[in-house]
Structure 1
Amino acid sequence: MASTAPDLDRQIAQMDDELLPVPRHKLHRWPHFAGLYAAEHVAATEFVIGATFVALGAGIWDILFGLLIGNALAVLSFWLITTPIAIETRLSLFTYLHRIAGDSMSRLYNWANVIIFTAISAAMITVSATAVRLLFDIPAQTQAYPTSFEFILLALSVAAIVVLVAVYGFNALTEFASICAPWLMLMFTIGGLVLLPELAESVTGNTSLTSFSNFIDVAGSTVFTGINSDGEAGIGIWEVIGFAWAANTFSHFGLIDMALLRYAKRMRSGLATGTGMMFGHYVAWISAGLMGAATAAVAGISIEVLEPGEVALHALGAAGFVIVVVAGWTTANANLYRAGLAAQSAMPNLSRNKATLAVGICVAVLSCFPFVYRSMLPLLTYAGLVLVPVGGIIFAEHHLFPKLGFSRYWARYKGLKHNVPALATWGLSLIFGFSLETLDLIPFYYLFLPTWFVSIALYTVMARKAGAAASYPEAEAAEQDFQQRVEALHAKQADTTNYAPIKDTSGLTKVIKAIWMVLGLAVPLVLALRVLLGSPDMATYEANRQMFYDVTIWCTVIYFAFAYWELQRSKALFNNQAPKQASTAS
């Protein structure tokens, strides 16, 4: 017997909002996603990845063009693969996967996410600890394991703060992280600029850079030399392209970022991911490589064991301490929160807070081991390989099945508790992908691509045999009725909660914004350019750099204080006016 409209309304009212499509009145335009991706992808790991390219021996032209092409492919992947499915379903991957593949597949997938995001969170905490250890004169951790009891205590202390914030104060951290993007992008850029004269002097005996070709000569001779740390020929442009593309495969090919892009009004929002890819994964990686090479030369140690805290401190002074702590802290919290959500989905008897706390304990222990953050490049690549087949399964059922005359949600319509074709596809695809690596047939950076196509083919064939080609008219009609009632509920909500955008145009807010833009961002940029362009000799360079150090830390304090003040004023304005608008609408 078909459910009546009142029955469906009661069922929908009892469901968590996360399990329903995002309503139209909660959608955002592309600038929202431009800021979101800039904040997320300019992180403390850029210090590690930039140094890794140097250690692997990438050449300067391989870096400039390889990162450009690879990150452009990543943007296209977000735009053409993730965004269409996110907009058409308005669901997170976790919810959509559960509708397609059921409990067993979802539970396994959640545990995979717990492991991956736990490792990423631990790496971020360790990166932050490398900066904090400088304040306490704790020895550098050059081994894969901790060699100092004091460092273990430090890492556990930093982890404890991160875990507690993720458990109890994530909303406040999210607000703080939202204002970090402009400052992080600026600091990563000018850090490389400030150290270029030092690199130039080591090559040419002159601190001045007179042209772009001069920059190419200096960077190609000292940083991206084409020779790896073992003195052999390094990676080429195809490897650089592959890693830049693969670094976020779990987000685009693996569809994790459906959770973000389901809020997009239009397809163009997928292109807004370019702020993260082109700035965070292009400019920041190159700049981090420049900073790492200069710091390693001054310290007289290998860039492979150089810590992010040392690099940032040498490039930016006290502000470098802030950038490592802030970037590591905000990224660790975001990923720990994701790991907690995945763990809570896998263990529904636990609350989100308790699940996050349990995962946080594992993160804290893992953060004591430096090998985790030094393995970020392969970690991100292998994480993509593990999760990409699930993206292939979703892609096949969403796009191919309707074109082939198959039924979307066939396993649920058929009443199956376990979607065996989905489970088998994931397992066989992983065997295929890791077999390719074992046989060394293609570079591991590109393993995700054939694995994704294989997962699509396997799932389509096996699902057809299991019942996807059959029709389920009654179940499909019930699904349409359900979606119509959801849309009716959202339309009703929009009538009472669809507040018009509120813009603070007060004089005080304009002054506050001008202060953080000029004193917080423009002044450090001008001082960095002065170091780069106005240092004819080493004595002048060192004096200019010291002034940059001394002033930039105060500019940093001003930036965060006034940017946060503006944010709070905007929130207060919205909170004061929103109830009035709601009352008027009702």
Structure 2
Amino acid sequence: MKQVDLHVEVCFFVPSFFNPYRMVTETLTDQLDAIDEYEREPVPQEKTKDFRSFVSMMAGEHIAGTEFVIGPLFVLHGVSAANLFVGLLLGNLLATLSWTLICAPVAVKTRLTIYYQLEKICGYRLVAIYNAINGLQSCVLAASMVAVSATAVGLAFGLSMPGLTDLYPSSLAWVVAVLGIGAVITLVSIYGYDRVAAFSAVCAPWLPLVFVAAAVAVLPQLGVRQWSDFWTVAQTKIWTGIPAAGQTPYTLWHVLFFAWLCNTAMHIGLSDMSIYRYAKRPTYGLASAVGMFVGHGMAWVASGILCALALQNGNTNPSPGRIAFDSAGLAGAACVVIAGWTTANPTIYRAGLALKGLMPDVKRWKITLVVGMLASVLAIFPGVVSRLDQVLAFYALVAAPVGAVIVMDVYVFTRIGLITNYAERAGKRFNWAVALTWLLSMLLSYALYVYTQSDFFFFMAIPGWFIGAALYVVLSRALQRLPKEELVMAQP
């Protein structure tokens, strides 16, 4: 007992430079505290990145483990082969243009995160609500990536893995695998943009090759003996136009709008301002084409082929890891792990920035650490993955009007005689014009969805964006009654 007391006493009084544990923790904390992500100021010109950085980032994020979830959805919902390829071509083109013509220009012009720009427009109290919702949604999205990666890790160790439609954990081993992967992903995210981009640059080049190799390898098992057989097999065995039991049929419009709007929050919802504020020029938005046409085009086609083979072999509830492992072995499983990792990194990074707006005095890395832990806990429940399309649709509904508000404020207001950054310049903490715009846009979009009896939630994002743009102008005219001189004097 005396030895223990003496040890504690010596460790307590010994100087920090003789205490290795304290030295390590202090050094790591100091390093993380020193990382400046410009959360509440414009990114300096000398800190901007070149085009290759954004190609790597967009490829790494959008060639994701969840492609092994989304690709099979089109097979299960009975999309025809012709509708799939035409829908992917048009939808991914529209998504690329949304980044290039809307998101990147706003980000380069302001050089701010969406969260700080929105705070200037609508005030701290309102942006706190948005940041909380946005942060939680990003946690759920990141959790999906962690869970998808875990299904592949489990196969390598022979663990019991849940399927695509399971709701609850299947074993303690699953929980351990999820938490372990979540810890590693969070570690990369807390180091900020540079580490996230660097990790994507390493992983992005070989991920598409694994997708293609796996799909090509299994085509003979589906009946493709020569390339001329592909279209016939595609129509009769893969994208047959006949949905699986209990699934609603998807058409060309479902594919087009899904490809365009599954990332609504990032492009027309402007969440990727947080990424593109580092771009040297707006044309860097074209880097998104790599993520769209390779990740959301080629990878969805490849994973659909792998799902068709799994269904042919009698597996009616395949996990993403199982789909990849059965076709490409350990390389396929590794692809799922890394692809989920490269997507979860920027997602957790964004969530940390969102919640940083709620706690401006807390270091971003500490918030990101908590976000990563929350995402890891959510990932334990595979039902998060099985409802990924619904999560993305709700994310789009919430984000679209907010993106419209920022675009109108940054580009239109000065041209029509309205005040930009109203909350900041008028000293307001709550801009009711933005609040009503956001609420009414979501309600009217949902009412339109119900009225048209649409079976696809994603359709609401586009009317929500245009309704939000129009409402914001009308309501801001009613709000802005203070003389301009008084508003300018109130500017901090």
Q: What interval of TM-score do these two structures reach, taking the shorter chain for normalisation?
A: 0.7 to 0.9
The residue aligned with 2:348 is 336
Please say if 1:236 is aligned against 2:251.
yes
Task: Look up the match of 1:25.
Answer: 46
> What is the 5 A alignment of 1:110-509?
110-142=131-163, 143-167=166-190, 172=195, 174-200=197-223, 207-211=224-228, 214-230=229-245, 234-298=249-313, 300-302=314-316, 305-442=317-454, 443-467=456-480, 471-473=483-485, 476=488
Q: Retained in 2: the 8 A contact 1:433–1:451?
A: yes
Retained in 2: the 8 A contact 1:223–1:290? Answer: yes
Deviation per CA, 1:163-205: give whole Å up to 9, x if none. 34444698656423321111012111222111111111xxxxx
State the Cα distance separating 1:238 from its structure 2 match.
0.9
Cα deviation, residue 475, structure 1: 5.3
**CA–CA separation in structure 2 for the residues paired with 1:452 and 1:233:** 26
Structure 1 position 478, deviation (Å): 9.0
Q: Deviations over 1:462-508 (max 9, x none)?
A: 1111116x6524754897xx9xxxxxxxxxxxxxxxxxxxxxxxxxx
Measured at CA, do residues 361 and 28 of structure 1 come closer, stay the same or move farther in structure 2, by a change above 3 Å?
A: closer
In structure 1, C-alpha distance between the alignment counterparts of 2:169 and 2:353, rounded to whole Å: 29
Q: How many Å apart are 1:74 and its aligned residue?
A: 0.7
Q: Name the counterpart of 1:97.
A: 118
Question: Secondary structure in 2 aligned to 1:182?
Answer: coil
Equivalent-residue separation in structure 2 for 1:359 and 1:16 (angstroms): 17
TM-score normalised per structure 2: 0.86
Give the secondary structure class of the aligned counterpart of 2:418.
coil
Task: Report the Cα offset of residue 416 of structure 1.
Answer: 1.8
8 Å Cα contact 1:101/1:418 also seen in 2:
yes
Find the aligned partners of 1:39 and 1:384 in 2 and give their Cα distance: 21
Which fold has the larger relative contact order, with Cα–Cα distance below 8 Å and residues 6 or more apart in sequence? 2
Task: Report Cα offsets for 1:116-144 as digits up to 9, x if no partner.
Answer: 11101111111111112113322331321
Structure 1 residues 168 and 461: alpha-carbon distance in aligned structure 2, compared to 1, 3 A threshold: closer
Superimposed CA distance per residue, residues 228-262 of structure 1 (whole angstroms, 9 cap, x where no aligned partner): 11288721101110111111110111011112222
Q: CA, structure 1 residues 356+441, in 2 after alignment: closer, same or farther (shift >3 Å)? A: same
Matched residues in 1 for 2:93 and 2:196: separation? 30
1:401 to 1:18, Cα distance in 2 relative to 1, 3 A: same
Partner of 2:17: none
- Provide the alpha-carbon RMSD of the alignment: 2.4
CA drift of 1:312 comes to 1.0
With over 3 angstroms needed to count, the CA separation of the structure-2 counterparts of 1:339 and 1:409, relative to structure 1, is closer
Aligned counterpart for 1:36 among listed residues 53, 57, 73: 57
How far apart are the structure 1 equivalents of 2:402 and 2:180?
36
- The letter of the residue matching 2:153 is V
* Cα contact 1:407–1:471 (8 A) shared by 2: no
Percent identity between the two aligned chains: 37
Q: How far did 1:23 drift?
A: 3.0
Q: Please give the per-residue CA displacement for 1:424-465, whole angstroms capped at 9, x wherever unaligned.
A: 211222222233333444442210011111111111111111
Find the counterpart in structure 1 of residue 15 from structure 2.
Answer: none
* Paired residue type of 1:74: A
> Is contact 1:396–1:456 with CA below 8 Å preserved after alignment?
yes
In structure 1, distance between residues paired with 2:390 and 2:134:
16
Contact 1:406 1:471 in 2 (8 A): no
Kindly indicate whether the alpha-carbon contact (under 8 Å) linking 2:59 and 2:204 is maintained by their aligned counterparts in 1. yes
Separation in 1 of the partners of 2:340 and 2:421?
Answer: 40
Matched-pair contact (CA < 8 Å) for 1:227–1:233: no
Stretches of 4+ aligned residues off by more than 6 angstroms: none
Work out the CA distance in 2 between the residues paired with 1:260 and 1:336.
12
TM-score normalised by structure 1 residue count: 0.73
Task: Provide structure 2 residue ranges, at least 5 long, that are not aligned to the other structure.
Answer: 1-35
Q: Is contact 1:29-1:266 (8 Å) kept?
A: no
Aligned residues: 454
The structure with the larger Rg is: 1
CA distance in 2, matches of 1:401, 1:307: 49
The one of 57, 65, 69 aligned to 2:78: 57
CA distance in structure 2 between the aligned counterparts of 1:106 and 1:425, rounded to whole angstroms? 13
